[in-house]
Structure 1
């Protein structure tokens, strides 16, 4: 069989936004993805659903496969005729052993291409506010492996030339060897006052930067507890960080580890906003949303749309699944030409507008009681109202409309089901204290979150976890189930929740 092509792709330093367009194109057509520890997990989402993804990472000396094993694996998968992506952290040709893999492919007669990536030394320094070159400070720059033992007799590093002849030094994989690196630089004439920075997880929400000088950096790193993976930058340019540290200064939630419990198909907006503000988001969906098995009530309502005066939506999901079924029945928005509409909040109204319909009622605050208040100015006696919504929704709105004299038909547009396969992962995260805050965007997310935890360990697992709620209804549910609510949105929307998190936890 003719071998498939292999793409040696640099995954970049950690921020998925720095991945190249060429890399995205290759990922989309890959049949096999072989990826490293430092490749951002979000990049795997770019692969086709049917692609085979194989982890071969190396972390702290723990190698899933040896380099020889990785080489054999790449060749083996290419021999099946499929397109193979070898996804490597940073750039494949800068301390990534991509050259060795390319040599093996060449020897085996397998076609390959190299797609460069943003190397960690450049990206981490830039995100820390350190320009590696500056015409007033230095015109020379060197990338050096910090993984080599500087004390061995056959070292390939010319320490004297580095110490005296290069303005900025960037060491990769050198955290464990920091004492030896500083000792060698001092031994060969570098000033003890030379500024030094260590940047851990550069360009990501977990970025941590420690600065000092050659004479103090070991102690500063020890006090900060900084560990690998990190980049070491040595040179006068490190002093520019004091004024140029843009990434860490403009991310109010930088380093905050936030559990997002919203349904995966709805979580993207919240994840994006929190990530942009520096948070490290952990997707832990506790609910999933789908259409009901029995659509007879919905179908009956759609067949009789011309009898309704009002169509009321209490969620974006209600809008989505109503129109999905409307279209499946062979109709379109023209079937609603005589119907007035009301929405519970701006997100729901925007979803409705995406179908070309502007709502007639939008309350000032976003809960069922506010919709009721908005209807008090309408003559509702004898009005027919269609309310497509969740299977288990509060009865406040339909009961109040009936009290006003309206004839209300409630139909199930969608059902919210618990996610039950996340219990082990969630318990592990909470045991290790790997989350600072959990966000709840509905009462169902709270109930299902607690259901994933062993009842006898609830207090132990959540004792340090802070709770952020989208509004008072969700907060009441959380308190009733034993949670303490630390943050509550003033505006009961995703942007309102994000704003409250920034105010309370910046």
Structure 2
């Protein structure tokens, strides 16, 4: 089967190159170009409360949130109800905490988490959200409205890479890029900041492959017309998706 997609992969390193390598094995051309990097944060107070078992529910909203939490944990994760925003984060969290992890069945974002039956009756529960610095407040506000006490464990921050937008766009155009895999709203917004305005119309003509309705909605607001939801951000599922198109 011939793969006509020529993809820009904007995920964090090293995941971008790993996906490029996997796609090449099924004959799909792609370029790895991370737009952001991450740096771990230190929050000993929240970490201590977490490790002492003060939380009934722990929710991870990204794989990086899990990774940088794990970097601070010596020994076992405390017993709790664990939730993840999507399949990829679920697998990372399951391996880290070695407990059962639940996640949405279809919509992989805060709205999907909030729709889970298990998170409807949380009155009186203490909930810890693992996330990066400056994440969304929807999950927190909704859980508080349902009667929960919510804290954040911000385990990392996003850092913009110093990139030459004009040089990169010329390279992408020469490579006949016709699609982009965008894993988050933050990466999506950074792509539109990086690309000079005179190339915005070219960027908007690409097909954007995104993991959630939230990212799709933001892409549409920015002018993107062709948007396709991915089944997951797990590398094997993305490869299967393009291999079977």
Which residue of the other structure, out of 400, 405, 409, is the alignment partner of 2:151? 409
Q: Which has the higher contact order (CA 8 A, sep 6+)?
A: 2
Query: Does structure 2 retain, via aligned residues, the 8 Å contact 1:284–1:422?
Result: no
Please report how far the alpha carbon of residue 426 of structure 1 lies from its aligned counterpart in structure 2 after TM superposition: 1.4
Query: Does structure 1 retain, via aligned residues, the 8 Å contact 2:7–2:181?
Result: yes
Whose radius of gyration is greater, 1 or 2?
1
Please report how far the alpha carbon of residue 272 of structure 1 lies from its aligned counterpart in structure 2 after TM superposition: 3.4
Please report how far the alpha carbon of residue 471 of structure 1 lies from its aligned counterpart in structure 2 after TM superposition: 2.5
Query: Does structure 2 retain, via aligned residues, the 8 Å contact 1:469–1:497?
Result: no
Measured at CA, do residues 470 and 499 of structure 1 come closer, stay the same or move farther in structure 2, by a change above 3 Å? farther
Matches within 5 A, 1:365-444: 365=106, 366-374=108-116, 376=118, 379-432=121-174, 434-444=176-186
The residue matched to 1:410 in structure 2 has which SS? strand
Please report how far the alpha carbon of residue 323 of structure 1 lies from its aligned counterpart in structure 2 after TM superposition: 1.2
1:349 has 2:90 as partner: yes
Superposed CA deviations along residues 281-308 of structure 1, whole A, max 9, x for unmatched, are: 211111212213xx2xx31111122321
Measured at CA, do residues 500 and 486 of structure 1 come closer, stay the same or move farther in structure 2, by a change above 3 Å? farther
Q: Which runs of 5+ in 1 are unaligned?
A: 1-248
The corresponding residue for 1:468 is 209
The corresponding residue for 1:332 is 75
1:303 has 2:45 as partner: no
1:259 has 2:8 as partner: yes
The corresponding residue for 1:321 is 68
The residue matched to 2:115 in structure 1 has which SS? helix
Instruction: Quote the Cα distance in structure 1 between the aligned partners of 2:218 and 2:92.
Output: 27
TM normalised by structure 2 equals 0.86
Q: How many residues are matched?
A: 241
Instruction: Quote the Cα distance in structure 1 between the aligned partners of 2:166 and 2:99.
Output: 44
TM normalised by structure 1 equals 0.44
Matches within 5 A, 1:195-214: none
1:289 has 2:34 as partner: no
Q: Which runs of 5+ in 2 are unaligned?
A: none
Superposed CA deviations along residues 374-398 of structure 1, whole A, max 9, x for unmatched, are: 2556642111111120213222211
Please report how far the alpha carbon of residue 320 of structure 1 lies from its aligned counterpart in structure 2 after TM superposition: 0.6
Query: Does structure 2 retain, via aligned residues, the 8 Å contact 1:380–1:405?
Result: yes
Please report how far the alpha carbon of residue 498 of structure 1 lies from its aligned counterpart in structure 2 after TM superposition: 4.2
The residue matched to 1:270 in structure 2 has which SS? helix
1:493 has 2:233 as partner: yes
Matches within 5 A, 1:185-224: none
Please report how far the alpha carbon of residue 470 of structure 1 lies from its aligned counterpart in structure 2 after TM superposition: 2.3
1:362 has 2:107 as partner: no
